[in-house]
Amino acid sequence: MLSIKIAWQFIIKSPLQNIITVITIIIGIGIQFFILSIGATLTNLILEHTTSYNEHILVTTQEYSNIPLEADQTLKQKILDEVPEIEIFNYMLQIESVSISTDTIPPMKFTVRAVDDERGYDFYGLTEEKHLTSGTYPSSPNQILLTKQFAEQYMIQPLDWITLTYAPTVFESYTVSYQVSGTFDLGLFRQTFAYCLVPFADLPTPYQSSSVYAVMQVNDPRNADIVAETIKTYFNPDLYLVKTWKDLSPEIYMLDTAQVLAISFIQVFLSFAVFVVVASILGFSVHQKSKQLGILKAMGLQDTKVSFVFLLQSLILGLFGTLGGLIGGTIFIKLYQDFMRYDDGTPRVIFHYDWYNYVISGLIVAATVLLASLVSIQRAKKITIIELIKT
């Protein structure tokens, strides 16, 4: 109790120094919290544009294997039953050797993604009403959805008919007519919008026995590597290759890693700056209170008690600074989010106030302040009673 009283007296006797200390901590923890939140938001944006409605795990035939991967529904159900991390499993066939044409549009390169059942539409987000921009969901054979971007560029409307010409080899081709039931927009970046989804049943006969891909989405894309190791046990590694989205988009994974490293470097630099300022202020406080410390030591107060007094002082200041910094950081993020809006009022960036960002920010600055306190305490311990009283 005596140590707390002494620590509090030291605080109120030097208001300017302690206000500067608290302000330093507030700024430090506020910036730490803002940077952590920015980092988490960037990671979420990268993951959203890379993995949303896309393949998290892909199983393909090895290049040297001549045994095709078949759409084995029994194996599919087995994996769904035994691997709870898998949310959607679908067999898919991506056909690049396709051209699209209409009565007014000459043939141009197009891509068809064939899926084995209606869950394939779920896989690519086409069954969510918010993504349907015009028309209706396909309700009968030979109906398809086109991307909004492609349909607008070539002025294709719902109920229009298009022709897809499949060319499995240079010597053969198959022509199929499809009716456009509607258009969709996932709201995500894609390298091309010239594609559509078609059920296996609506493909020309030669493609219905082709080797397929097994594509899966997991409940957390960050854990795709771990889940992929489990998936490998269901497929012969000599015949089939299991990849994750990190293998399919290594540049995106490297971008995420680079931004995490950059943010970590900024945090270390900021922590060092806070350490220098707080250590300097506390060191000056030790020098300023040398006479009081000498008297306390002369009265029999042990070095451990003196250390505890300065530690309490730092903890009290750190507590005020931490609370102020977290509150200030939250307010600043809210103001920043409100400021960063598109012309129609929708936010450009949506921050998530995750509890662990508060905890990590507090712990980083708390450790920095504690280290600065220990440096000042060691300085006070080295001074003798006579030197303290003479000061």
Average pLDDT over residues 329-348: 76
Nearest alpha-carbon partner for 196 in 134, 150, 131:
150
Whether residue 270 contacts residue 26, with contact meaning beta carbons closer than 8 Å, is answered with no
In a domain, 222, yes or no: no
Judge whether 80 and 240 are in contact, CB under 8 Å: no
- Other C-beta atoms closer than 10 Å to the C-beta of 314 total 26
Is the pLDDT at 295 greater than 70? The verdict is no
- Name the residue among 309, 303, 297, 318 with its Cα closest to residue 365: 318
Percent of the chain with pLDDT over 70: 79
Number of domains composing the chain: 2
3-state secondary structure the chain: CHHHHHHHHHHHHCHHHHHHHHHHHHHHHHHHHHHHHHHHHHHHHHHHHHHCCCCCEEEEECCCCCCCCCCCHHHHHHHHHHCCCEEEEEEEEEEEEEEEECCCCCCEEEEEEEECCCHHHHHCCCCCHHHEEEECCCCCCCEEEEEHHHHHHCCCCCCCEEEEEEEEECCEEEEEEEEEEEEECCCCCCCCCCEEEEEHHHCCHHHHHCCCEEEEEECCHHHHHHHHHHHHCCCCCCCEEEEEHHHHCHHHHHHHHHHHHHHHHHHHHHHHHHHHHHHHHHHHHHHHCHHHHHHHHHCCCCHHHHHHHHHHHHHHHHHHHHHHHHHHHHHHHHHHHHHCECCCCCECCCCCCCHHHHHHHHHHHHHHHHHHHHHHHHHHHCCCHHHHHHC
Residue 254 phi/psi, 5-degree rounding, is -65, -35
Q: Do residues 345 and 267 share a domain?
A: yes
Question: Who wins on pLDDT, 355 or 1?
Answer: 355
Regarding whether 127 and 187 lie in a shared domain, the answer is yes
| 265 pLDDT more than 60 | yes
User: Is residue 377 located within the same domain as residue 295?
Assistant: yes
pTM surpassing 0.75?
A: no
Domain enclosing residue 257, as ranges? 2-49+253-390
Sequence-distant (6+) residues with CB within 8 A of 75 are 234
Residues 334 and 206 in one domain: no
- Tokens 């450009």 sit at which residue? 348
245 touches 55 (CB < 8 A): yes
Residue 285 has pLDDT above 90, yes or no: no
Residues 270, 386, single domain; the answer is yes
Q: Are residues 103 and 162 in the same domain?
A: yes
| Boundary-marking domain end, from 151, 178, 210 | 210
More confident of the two residues 159 and 353: 159
In a domain, 64, yes or no: no
Angstrom distance (rounded) from CA 242 to CA 257: 22
Rank 17-26, 95-104, 363-372 by mean pLDDT and report only the highest. 95-104
In a shared domain, residues 107 and 177: yes
* Amino acid (one-letter) located at 77: Q
Residue 272 has pLDDT above 70, yes or no: yes
The answer to whether residue 85 scores a pLDDT higher than 90 is yes
Residues 29 and 84 in one domain: no
Lowest mean per-residue pLDDT among 60-64, 264-268, 286-290, 318-322: 286-290
CA–CA dist 159, 181 (Å, integer)? 6
Which residues face 161 on adjacent strands? 179
- The closest of 175, 197, 8 to 99, measured between CA atoms, is 175
Is 56 part of a structural domain of the chain?
no
Same domain, residue pair 265 and 374:
yes
Of 257 and 57, the structure prediction assigns the larger pLDDT to: 57
CB 183 within 8 A of CB 134: yes
Q: Do 141 and 30 share a structural domain?
A: no
What pLDDT score does 199 carry?
Answer: 86
Residue 298: pLDDT over 90: no
pLDDT value of position 165: 92
Does some domain include residue 286? yes
- The CA-based diameter of the chain, rounded to the nearest angstrom, is 103
Confidence bin at 366 (pLDDT 50/70/90): confident
Mean pLDDT of the 116-142 span: 82
11 and 142 belong to one structural domain: no
Whether 45 has a pLDDT exceeding 60, the answer reads yes
pLDDT class of 391 with cuts at 50, 70, 90: low
Between 345 and 192, residue with greater pLDDT = 192
pLDDT of 387 higher than 70: no
The confidence score (pLDDT) of residue 10 equals: 63
140-164 pLDDT, tens digit each: 888 999 999 999 999 999 999 999 9
Q: How far apart are CA 235 and CA 32, in angstroms?
A: 45
- Percentage of the residues of the chain whose pLDDT score is greater than 90: 20
pLDDT confidence of 101, banded at 50, 70, 90?
very high
Tell whether 152 and 25 lie within a shared domain: no
Q: Mention every residue, 6+ apart, whose C-beta is less than 8 A from residue 111.
A: 94, 95, 96, 98, 192, 194, 195, 196
Least confidently predicted of 122-126, 236-240, 262-266: 262-266
In a domain, 244, yes or no: no
Residue where the block lists tokens 């086409």: 126
What pLDDT was estimated at residue 9? 67
What tens digit of pLDDT does each residue of 196-219 get?
888 888 888 878 667 788 999 998
